[in-house]
Amino acid sequence: MNLYLKILTYHFETIQDKKEQKRLIDFLAEQIKKELKKNGNDTLNDKKIKQISKYMYWNISFIVVYGVLDKIVQSLGSDKLLEVAINVCDDENTPASFIVKHGILMWFEKNLQPDEIAKRLRKKDFSDVSNRVIRFMVANYCSLHQMEYRELEYIRDKLNIPMQRLLTDK
Please, what's the b/e burial string for 19-39 (b: 16 or more CB within 10 A of its CB; e: otherwise)?
Answer: eebeebbeebbeebeeeeeee
Is 98 exposed, middle or buried, given 0-12, 13-18 or 19+ CB atoms closer than 10 A? buried
Host domain of residue 90: 2-166
What's the rounded Cα separation, in Å, for the pair 115 and 86? 17
Number of domains in the chain: 1
pLDDT tens for each residue of the chain, 170 residues long: 888 888 888 888 888 888 999 999 999 999 999 988 888 877 788 899 999 999 999 999 999 999 999 999 998 887 778 888 889 889 988 889 999 999 999 999 999 999 999 999 988 888 888 889 999 999 999 988 888 989 999 999 999 988 887 775 44
Query: Quick one: pLDDT at residue 168?
Result: 59
